[in-house]
């Protein structure tokens, strides 16, 4: 009885292997790899959940994945094995980047520390006639930002540079998985040109809103070469150690802004300026 039950199993196995061989022969390499991966997962996994999880490991994408997320009116690209998914949650879930005051549809917005362009894309979606300038220090992030804002390329300009108080070159260290927190470092393994906030405001201003998330460079930008401040109506600064929220609020007051409480992020400071003065 045992042997009789064994024969159909062997035959089924032979049939499956034959089918796989034929499919590998007639299909392109990518499809053949997919079939091999599915076969391995089906053979090794003991339940459907494990099958799916194991298959996801075998088929982990090597490039960006297109996803549609709530809050954006077009699909965006996220990279596997990176911080992009966390960036998407922060931008579209927590919405830390929203301005402290209502903006007009044709507002001018500077997105300093734009990462992969999700906040810039969200601004462009929310303010359908806005001009958005997205500044990103890392070249790979900046390239992603260009792709993620392509729908709005007539209104979104992506600049590959580090926002700083003077024009120079700075270094930073690139670490896989930490793409949302690249910061200027004295002995970094990457180098980038800088762009001053003053030059941006002179070119695009007056500015209705600045989002500043530049991983520690905010202390310098808010205290040196600050002639740009009088032409900015509102600002949001994410604060990074050793700079403190209290020090940031002090510096913003000295620049003529009135700090207001951020509704959800204790590490950020919102501030506004009278419209007449900024205009």
For 228-278, how does the pLDDT look when each residue is reduced to its tens digit (9 = 90+)? 999 999 999 999 999 999 999 999 999 999 998 888 888 999 999 976 455
CA 223 to chain centre: 27
What are the helix (H) ranges across the chain?
A: 2-26, 29-44, 48-58, 84-88, 118-126, 139-148, 197-204, 218-221, 245-254, 275-278
CA 263 to chain centre: 21
Of the chain, the percentage scoring pLDDT greater than 70 comes to 78
Residue 52: partners with Cβ closer than 8 Å, 6 or more residues away: none
For 185-233, how does the pLDDT look when each residue is reduced to its tens digit (9 = 90+)? 888 889 999 999 999 999 998 999 999 999 999 999 999 999 999 999 9
The pTM assigned to this predicted structure is: 0.78
Return the DSSP state at 153: T
Per DSSP, what are the bridge partners of residue 259? 271
**Listed residue (224, 218, 223, 257) closest to 237, CA to CA:** 218
For 59-74, how does the pLDDT look when each residue is reduced to its tens digit (9 = 90+)? 666 688 888 887 888 8
Ordered by start, the domain boundaries in the chain are 2-58, 94-278
CATH class of 94-278: alpha beta
């Amino acid at each position: 009885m045992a042997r009789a039950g064994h024969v159909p199993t062997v035959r089924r196995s032979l049939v499956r292997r034959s089918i796989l061989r034929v499919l590998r022969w007639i299909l392109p390499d990518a499809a053949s790899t997919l079939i091999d991966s599915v076969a391995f997962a089906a053979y090794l996994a003991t339940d459907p959940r494990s099958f799916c999880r194991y298959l996801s490991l075998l088929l982990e994408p090597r490039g960006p994945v297109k996803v549609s997320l709530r809050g954006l009116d077009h699909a965006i690209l996220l990279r596997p094995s990176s911080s992009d998914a966390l960036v998407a949650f922060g931008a579209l879930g927590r919405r830390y980047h929203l301005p402290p005051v209502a903006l007009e549809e044709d507002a001018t917005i500077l997105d300093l520390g734009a990462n992969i362009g999700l906040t810039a894309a969200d601004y462009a979606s929310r303010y359908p006639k806005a001009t958005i300038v997205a500044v990103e220090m890392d070249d790979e992030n900046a390239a992603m930002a260009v792709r993620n804002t392509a729908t709005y390329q007539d209104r979104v300009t992506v600049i590959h540079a580090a926002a700083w108080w003077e024009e120079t070159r700075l270094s930073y260290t690139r670490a896989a998985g930490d793409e949302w927190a690249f910061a200027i470092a004295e002995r970094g393994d990457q180098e980038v040109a800088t762009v001053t906030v003053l030059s941006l405001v002179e070119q695009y201003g007056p500015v209705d809103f600045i989002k500043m998330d530049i991983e520690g460079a905010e202390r310098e930008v808010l205290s040196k070469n600050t002639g740009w401040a009088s032409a900015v109506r509102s600002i949001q600064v994410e604060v990074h150690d050793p700079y403190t929220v209290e020090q940031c609020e002090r510096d913003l007051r000295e620049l003529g802004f009135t700090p207001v409480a951020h509704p959800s992020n204790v590490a950020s400071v919102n501030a506004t300026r009278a419209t007449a003065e900024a205009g």
